[in-house]
Chains A and B, each alone.
Chain A
Amino acid sequence: MSRLQYTLWRLIGIVPVMVLITTFAFFLMRAAPGGPFDKEKALPPEIEKNIRAKYHLDDPLIVQYGRYLFSVMRGDLGPSFKYPNRTVNEIIVESFPVSLKLGLLAMCFALFFGLSAGVISALKQNRWQDYTFMGFALFGVSVPNIVLGPLLVLIFGLWLGWLPVAGWESPVDAVLPTITLGAIYVAYISRISRAGILEVLGQDYVTVARAKGLPQRIVVFRHILRGGLLPVVSFLGPAFASILTGSIVVEKIFHIPGLGQHFVQAALNRDYTLAMGTVIFYALILILLNLVVDLLYTFLDPRVRYE
């Protein structure tokens, strides 16, 4: 199977998966008790009737499902129940780029520091550099962002006054959220890359490269990294997806207008369309990211074949 055929096949496979996800999202959402318009102050029956009619909630469930599925197929995720003057598409288009930007910054931060720490630790195995970096990595994995974020805000925002406490207006606003969101991935990447490189270090082709008299820099960048980073690449796909979908805490702490907040809040609000819309959208992102990683893998490791 050629690369193109493989890609096409995978892309076609997305359709049934998405239908399944839409179906699950629809029925799970509807199975949740309560509705989008339940508030502390109960509505008079006349009003409830009007609202149910307006949003077609009085149709049989299966009819609603059919209508929703059809509209999703056309790329229309419907109007939000909570924000009646906005459509779900608009909300995603407006807020996803923010989450994406934050996610990319956090990923770059994680890759830069994670890889540096991983490579140094592997090359200086069991020396003080190794222990220091791996100590930090352990710290990074253990401290959740709900603790790290406020801690950074306290130190750099309130005590030192160097950085804004929250917001998303100027580039400096991104510093603390990036670190908060990326810290745990710095930790993961450094440990994974360290392990990957250690495995490669003992391989014949590295010994051969060294025997050829190549300088350390070339051996590391051309030979060791390429093989040693494979585990990192396969980690990146799910990690990036999890950075994108898991940014809710960071978005809340730093008042960032991203999509993450809607992901959870919409479900709690029973904003059916917005909750289903974000689930469908994230599912698509996840599937596409996995595809990208699979394709990337074959570039890096010629032993991997398409099947």
Chain B
Amino acid sequence: MKFALWLLLILTVVLFRVQPVAAALEQVYSFNIRAEPETIDPALATGMPEYDMMFALFEGLTNRHAKTLEPIPGVAKRWDISKDGRRYTFHIRNNARWSNGDAVTAQDFVYSWRRSLEPKTGAIYAYMLYHIRGAKAYNSGKIKDFNKVGIKARSSHILEVELINPTPYFLFLCSYYVYFPVHRRTVEKHGDKWTRVENIVTNGAFTLKEWRQADRIVMEKFSGYWDAKRVRLQRIHAYPIENKETGLNYYKTNKIHWTGHGHLPEARIERLKKRPDYHQPVWLSTYYYRVNVTRPPLNNLDVRKALYLAIDRDLIVQKVTKTGEQPAFSFTPKMRGYQPPRGPVFNPKKAAEHLSKAGYCAPGFNKKGCKPFPKLEVHYNTNERHKLVLLAIQQMWKQHLGIEGVSLLNREWKVYLKEQRAIDYAVSRSTWIADYPDPTTFIEMFVTDGGHNQTGWSNRKYDQLVEAAYAEVDAKKRQQLLIDAETILLAELPILPIYHLTSPFLLSPCVGGFYENYLDIHPYTDMYIKPECLKEKK
């Protein structure tokens, strides 16, 4: 027994010889990337963690302003846009370099975009390139000759791109991952393995130094980056911590500076909100319910209006979600250059009136011969917050419309997606986060047979307005066309907007050059660790 006790003592001494978490030295920014990036191949990547990593490693023709997200020069030092807004000529800077020292050329972009459009690449976000003339036809194999696609290298420093429509956000798209260049020789030499640490060649402000699967990613400043003088961070550490509690613990023990947006344990937010390092910027997004307009009784507009008007959005954001969300009275959030039309606000009396008009019994309108409202199922994917919001709405519909039979159907993620796609639901919870800061990212979803429509709703006038907006060069006229389209959407209600989301996070006061913005994108080229923090930790 003595032996066991000695062993235990030795073990304790050895194991407990502990040093609390190593503090950051010098300009090292650490953050929770929230999930293991699936791939950093610009043609194949899709999610936010991937973008957070690739934004350090790659640079597109344009970059994003840290505060406003407006496109600023990236690999292209300047660009010319034709009067009809359809032809872009990019002038690539002479000193843009790949991490192996090669110059970044216009041909690199032609190669990379072509690769993303090759059907055999199987690029998920290839459709983001569909704005380019001939891109969709090439991607779907309808044309084989890439010369027919509107991407041309006029010289090694001049890239010409021809678009189908004037696309005011095209410059923004140029900093999107599928628009990033890849290094041709590296890709051709290593095939699928070109993104490995030992093979990868990148052109961003940072290079990949270490990637321990599901553990840690280390990126280091690239001294050959054309704007290296401006870059202050020496290294970036990204931890793919999925568990929100664990992420918070990392933050509390100073192992990371940023918890990642929307990645705080829900149950703790109430307390965390009181901290000075807590932030909750509004995200360019909408939380809404899809309504299957092909299924009775939801095919009746009065029923949809009743359901819409009986939702007290203010109450939901104040008492249920509680993280600064904004009640949504339109599908598209307000953004620069777009003031969405405002749908009616919460009005229980009017809601009941509409329900009664549809022939159903409603509080205060119980006409003779009215029918009780049939059972209504609402689908949501497994998530505590979705459930709470739904419980609140269930109560509101019961209280204001007398609908007793609202049931909650909890679905596993992939099952939920499948049912939504097949429009096999009555009402289904959804979220939409903007791909780019333009109202079309929201409004084009509901065109007839659009892949994201998934409500069975169709309106010719709406389709025509969206089509006209695509072709319109004048910004004001374009805005009006989109407002008119959205007005139709809000009048017909194939969707019930509920609120615009926020992305709560904790950010260490040691980090400078980090700005809240509506897409939660934070260029590393602007970030730095404040000098006072460096001194403290040395």
Cβ–Cβ contact B241 & A164, under 8 A: no
User: When the two chains form their complex, are residues B417 and A166 in contact, meaning their CB atoms are under 8 A apart?
Assistant: no
- Residues of B within 8 Å of A169, CB to CB, are 216
B458 within 8 A of A: no
Does B442 sit within 8 A of A, measured CB to CB? no
B460 at interface by CB-CB < 8 Å: no
CB <8 Å contact, B127 and A84:
no
Contact with A along B184-210 (1 / 0, CB 8 A): 000000001111100000000000000
Q: Do the beta carbons of B38 and A84 come within 8 Å of each other? A: yes
Complex CA–CA separation, A175 to B249 (angstroms): 16
User: Cβ of B250 < 8 Å from any Cβ of A?
Assistant: yes
Chain B residues with Cβ below 8 Å from A270 are: 414
- Interface residues in B25-65 (C-beta closer than 8 Å to A): 36, 38-41, 44, 46
Contact A268 B246, CB 8 Å, known A165-B253, A168-B215, A255-B241: no
Distance (Å) between the CB of B266 and the closest chain A CB? 15
Q: Do B417 and A39 touch (CB < 8 A)?
A: yes
Whether the pair A79, B192 counts as a contact (CB closer than 8 A) is yes
The answer to whether A38 and B418 have CB atoms under 8 Å apart is yes
- At the interface, yes or no: B536 with Cβ under 8 Å from chain A? no
Q: Does B370 contact A (CB under 8 A)?
A: no
Which residues on the A side are within 8 Å of B120 (C-beta)?
A: 50, 53-54
Contact residues of B between 408 and 465, Cβ < 8 Å to A: 412-415, 417-418, 421, 430-431, 451-452, 454
Partner of B414, one of A38, A44, A85: A38
Chain B residue numbers with a CB within 8 Å of A34 are 413-415, 417-418
Complex CA–CA separation, A53 to B139 (angstroms): 13
Instruction: A79 to B46: give the CA distance in the assembly, Å.
Output: 18
- Using C-beta atoms within 8 Å of the partner chain, give the interface range for chain B: 35 or more
Contact of A164 among B40, B253, B412, B451 (CB under 8 A): B253
The answer to whether B276 has its CB under 8 Å from any CB of chain A is no
B contact residues around A257 at 8 Å (CB): 212-215
Instruction: Give the docked Cα–Cα distance between A47 and B124 (Å).
Output: 6
* Distance of A166 Cα from B46 Cα, bound (Å): 28
Nearest residue (CB) in B for A42 is B451
Which of B213, B249, B250 is the one whose CB lies under 8 Å from A95?
A: B213
Quick one: which of A39-58 are within 8 Å of B by CB? 39-47, 49-51, 53-55
Is the C-beta of B13 less than 8 angstroms from some C-beta in chain A? no
**Are A165 and B414 also in contact (CB < 8 A) when A46-B140, A50-B139, A257-B215 are?**
no
Q: How many residue-residue contacts, CB under 8 A, span A and B?
A: 151
A162 touches B414 (CB 8 A): no
Contact (A40, B431) CB under 8 Å given A55-B122, A255-B241? yes
A158 to B268, CA, bound (A): 15
Whether A161 is near chain B, meaning CB under 8 Å from some CB there, is yes
Mark interface residues in B134-149 (1 if CB within 8 Å of A CB, else 0). 0010011000000000
Q: Which residue of B lies closest to A265 (CB)?
A: B242
| Alpha-carbon gap, A248 to B253, bound state (A) | 23
Q: Tell me the complex Cα distance, A91–B212, Å.
A: 11
Which listed residue (B40, B123, B255) contacts A47, Cβ 8 A? B123
A28: min CB distance to chain B, Å? 14
A residues in contact (CB < 8 Å) with B:
32-35, 37-47, 49-51, 53-55, 79, 82-86, 91, 94-95, 112, 116, 120, 150, 153, 157-158, 161-169, 171-172, 175, 252-255, 257, 261, 268, 270
Selected A-B contacts with CB under 8 Å, 26 pairs: A32-B414, A37-B124, A38-B414, A39-B124, A43-B124, A44-B130, A49-B140, A50-B139, A51-B124, A54-B121, A85-B44, A85-B192, A85-B196, A120-B1, A161-B20, A164-B253, A165-B21, A165-B249, A172-B15, A172-B16, A172-B18, A175-B15, A252-B242, A252-B246, A254-B246, A255-B239
